[in-house]
Amino acid sequence: MSIDAAGQKKSKHKNIILIGFMGTGKTVVGRNLARTLNFDFVDSDEEIEKVTGQPLPQLIKKHGELRFRSEERLLFDKLAQKEHQIVATGGSIQMNSDNLLRLKPDGFFVLLQSDPEILYQRISRKNHRTIQGKKPSEEQIRELLQKNTSLYEKLADFCANTSQMTVDEVTNIIIKAWQSGGQKPEDRGKNS
């Protein structure tokens, strides 16, 4: 921990990486964090769509999962060289932790979580939120959360449950955790 010229606490981590299931708030919280900290914001899915000129479902359908992962790897290699950024990872990122590990050395990993019922409500409101081209049921969400939680928790330096918090509340607890070096997932009951 160090102090910058304005007297603000600074983290040893140069970037904040938001991970978690779709609908947990990675993009909206990420944009708010970036504004608050005066960092750059990158949504990995949006960035891949911009680079390829194709929506992700179309990219994957036309060129396959391998092409998507290759684009993701190139993006994360590029992002790993930068500082002062908030990165919102895509909802499918959990399927390829090797790509995420490219961001780990300088990244403060924040796992955003939400209750399955809340995720279902949030995902149902958005047309582009699909899994393999279909809206997931609440049961599918539960199954996927159970399957992927351990990977998310292994990567996380800090966890926040966004189910009942405002974007500003989530932003503030992430900044405090980032400045203090974080809290391991096994301790998350103390903040969520």
Count of CB atoms situated within 10 Å of the CB of 113: 24
Domain holding 149, by residue range, is 11-190
Residues 49-60 have pLDDT tens digits of: 999 999 888 888
4, part of any domain: no
28, part of any domain: yes
Helix spans in the chain (H): 26-37, 44-52, 56-63, 65-79, 97-101, 116-125, 138-155, 167-180
Average pLDDT over residues 154-160: 92
Residues 20-33 have pLDDT tens digits of: 988 899 999 999 99
How many independent structural domains does the chain possess? 1
Q: What is the pLDDT of residue 134?
A: 64
171, part of any domain: yes
45, part of any domain: yes
Average pLDDT over residues 153-173: 94
CATH of the domain at 108: 3.40.50.300
61, part of any domain: yes
5, part of any domain: no
The pLDDT-based confidence of 7 (bands split at 50, 70, 90) is very low
Backbone torsions φ then ψ of 9, nearest 5 degrees: -70, 140
pLDDT above 90: percentage of residues in the chain:
47
1, part of any domain: no
Q: Is the pLDDT of residue 130 over 60?
A: no
2, part of any domain: no
Three-class SS state of 88: strand
Residue 70's alpha-carbon distances to 51, 52, 78, 96, 103, in angstroms, are 12, 11, 13, 11, 15
Q: Is the pLDDT of residue 91 over 90?
A: no
Q: What is the pLDDT of residue 191?
A: 47
